[in-house]
Amino acid sequence: MTNRPQNFWYFSVALYAHEQVTDACLDLQNLYGVDVNMILFCYWHGTKLGEISPETMTQALAISANWKRELVQPLRNVRQWMKLHGGDYPGTFRAQFDTLRARIKSDELAAEKFQQELLELVAMENPVQQGTAGSAGACDRNIERYFVAIRLEQNDLIAIKLKTIANALQFTA
């Protein structure tokens, strides 16, 4: 059996563990429709590999958009609907309902992990600009390239959220 790429996943788990990062990512997702995995990919790639090439960004966006649309978002929608309607079921039905919701949440997380493995594979298969890894500038340019691709213009609130994530990078191995 082939070992699947895990470096991006471990990086994401460590970065996302910071409460401020979690909140910033969820705000970007909920307020602007940003794909959190793509934001994390931009930071991981900038930190570990350098600037994302246009080809890599195109491939990553295609994978992520399809995966999010067809799998992650439907699971998220069901989980969020269940969160709103959990109180509608009495007694043992409530316990079963909560167990089902927890399984769906676990499946959603597994789908996001798989998406990250696919993104890391794309990154490993494409050349990177030498000498840009680990620089804040590489992360910033990756985010900028992503925002251009999804046609999202940065505003002050987005900039604050991104700064929060960037600041947590120093605490992530």
| Residue 52 near residue 45 (C-beta atoms within 8 A) | yes
Residue 126 domain-assigned (yes or no)? yes
Report yes or no on 47 lying in a domain: yes
Q: What angle do CA 166, 167, 173 make, to 5 degrees?
A: 85
Residue 23 forms part of a structural domain: yes
The one-letter amino acid at 101 = R
Which domain covers residue 79, as residue numbers? 7-171
Helices (H) and strands (E) in the chain, counts: 8, 0
Tell me if the pTM is above 0.75: yes
Q: Is 2 within the bounds of a domain?
A: no
CB 15 within 8 A of CB 165: yes
Within a domain: residue 166? yes
Residue 1 placed within a domain: no
14's CB contacts (< 8 A; 6+ apart) are: 172, 173
Rounded-to-integer distance, Cα 168 and Cα 173, Å: 10
Tell me how far apart the alpha carbons of residues 86 and 173 are, in angstroms, rounded to a whole number.
Answer: 38
For residue 13, CA distances in Å to 25, 41, 65, 74, 151 come to 13, 12, 21, 22, 27
Tell me if 120 sits within 8 A of 5, measured CB to CB.
Answer: yes
User: CA–CA separation, 62 vs 55, rounded Å?
Assistant: 11
Per-residue pLDDT of the chain in tens (173 residues, 90 and over written 9): 356 668 999 999 999 999 899 999 999 999 999 999 999 999 999 999 999 999 999 999 999 999 999 999 999 999 999 988 877 778 888 888 889 999 999 999 999 999 999 999 999 998 776 666 677 789 999 999 999 999 999 999 999 999 999 999 987 75
Chain mean pLDDT for the chain? 91
What total of structural domains would you count in the chain?
Answer: 1
pLDDT > 70: percent of the chain: 94
User: 50's torsion region: left (phi>0), alpha (psi -120 to 50) or beta?
Assistant: left
pLDDT tens digit sequence for 128-164: 766 666 777 899 999 999 999 999 999 999 999 999 9
Query: Does 154 reside within a domain?
Result: yes
